[in-house]
Amino acid sequence: MSKPVNIALVGAGAFGVKHLDALKAIDGANVVSLVSRSEDSTQAIADKYGIPHVAFDLADALARPDVDAVILTTPTPLHASQALQCLNAGKHVMVEIPLADSLADAEAVVALQKKTGLVAMCGHTRRFNPSHQWVRNKITAGEFNIQQMDVQTYFFRRTNINALGQPRCWTDHLLWHHAAHTVDLFAYQTGSDIVAANAIQGPIHPELGIAMDMSIQLKAANGAICTLSLSFNNDGPLGTFFRYIGDTGTYIARYDDLVDGKENPIDVSKVDVSMNGIELQDREFLAAIREGREPNASVAKVLPCYQVLDILDRKLAEMD
């Protein structure tokens, strides 16, 4: 049996439950504390998953000597401050994407991780999805080189609602959340720094105060390019769709499904031990803790993504 890791999960919303389901499949992953708002039915969720401790303040969980690590699935504006709180308490931490909603906050987390030596990871799930792993395996084997990535990230969210259609107490953001997935994945898959980045955005929503539509262009040092279209206005097929155009083929990833350019299915079921990207992400976090190593998607490894987001944010501000 793998060495047990005792976990406090913070945030019992839609994504918190995804992690609870994933952790059930991982040997030695013990969720010993659940922290969330009372309105999230925290006690009922704890009872369902057999979690012995419930709290409504992160500090209560961090004070427990039996907590080794924390998984944060809280609102974006809290990510950086709570990650710092966990590291200062001597706990390993994985914070869901995005690491922060500003470069300064992201840099602060990276600096504290280096000081403490604890495992600190961000939930850049696309690094772990079997569909994207399959493409990466082709790249690392020298069988495929990306020329262009064309990505569509489309939702229908004209009000503050989460993935379950429930009201949110915070406002999601196309740039500082959803673009982070693709900006990081593009650099990761090409193995090359992003050297050029441009963006334009549509009108600002009068109530939400954010752009509901955005277009981003990226170029890597090796010459590969990426075009990313994002929308909260799309009343149609929802989700993110990645088209990899390369020198030896074209592949289209729709979450954990992968097809070639002619829509022929590609079997990715044997790429990893699970088809669940969240589970694979959580497995990497726990493995890094047990092995005392830096994880894939460590806060340091994903920091270049937030440097690019900061450049784009400043460019968009100059246009307004």
Residues 123-154 pLDDT 10s: 999 999 999 999 999 999 999 999 999 999 99
Tokens of 68: 């080794």
Amino acid identity for residue 287 in this structure:
A
SS3 for the chain is CCCCEEEEEECCCHHHHHHHHHHCCCCCEEEEEEECCHHHCHHHHHHHHCCCEEECCHHHHHCCCCCCEEEECCCHHHHHHHHHHHHHCCCEEEEECCCCCCHHHHHHHHHHHHHHCCCEEEECHHHCCHHHHHHHHHHHCCCCCEEEEEEEEECECCCCECCCCCECCCCCCHHHHHHHHHHHHHHHHHCCCEEEEEEEECCECCCCCCECEEEEEEEECCCCEEEEEEECECCCCCEEEEEEEECCCEEEEECCEEEECCCCEECCCCCCCCCCHHHHHHHHHHHHHHHCCCCCCEHHHHHHHHHHHHHHHHHHHHHC
Q: What's the average model confidence in pLDDT over 27-33?
A: 98
What is d(CA 174, CA 194) in angstroms, rounded to the nearest whole number? 19
How many beta carbons lie within 10 A of that of residue 2, not counting itself? 12
CB-count burial class (<10 Å; 0-12, 13-18, 19+) for 78: middle
Identical fold between 5-124+276-295 and 129-271: no
Position 207 scores a pLDDT of 86
Position 93 scores a pLDDT of 98
- Indicate the fold that domain 5-124+276-295 takes in CATH: Rossmann fold (3.40.50)
Q: Does residue 158 register a pLDDT over 80?
A: no
Q: What are the domain boundaries of the chain?
A: 5-124+276-295, 129-271
**Is pLDDT larger for residue 156 or for residue 131?**
131
For tokens 């369902």, name the residue: 48
Q: What's the average model confidence in pLDDT over 253-267?
A: 95
Q: Does residue 2 register a pLDDT over 90?
A: no
Position 296 scores a pLDDT of 98
CATH superfamily name and code, 129-271: Dihydrodipicolinate Reductase; domain 2 (3.30.360.10)
pLDDT tens digits for range 207-226: 888 899 999 999 999 999 99
Position 189 scores a pLDDT of 98
Listed residue (82, 130, 92) closest to 113, CA to CA: 92
pLDDT level of residue 40 (50, 70, 90 thresholds): confident
- Helices 79-88, 103-116: inter-axial angle, 10-degree rounding: 10
**Is pLDDT larger for residue 271 or for residue 41?**
271
Position 39 scores a pLDDT of 72
- Could you tell me if 182 and 153 are in contact, meaning their C-beta atoms sit under 8 angstroms apart? yes
pLDDT level of residue 169 (50, 70, 90 thresholds): low
Q: Does residue 86 register a pLDDT over 70?
A: yes
Longest Cα–Cα distance of the chain, Å, equals 56
Q: Does residue 48 register a pLDDT over 90?
A: yes
Q: Does residue 77 register a pLDDT over 90?
A: yes
Pairing assessment for the beta strands 257-260 and 92-96 based on DSSP bridges: unpaired
Amino acid identity for residue 206 in this structure:
P
**Is pLDDT larger for residue 166 or for residue 90?**
90
Q: Does residue 164 register a pLDDT over 70?
A: no
Q: Looking at the DSSP assignment, which residues form a beta bridge with residue 241?
A: 152, 254
Q: What's the average model confidence in pLDDT over 220-240?
A: 93
Position 256 scores a pLDDT of 83
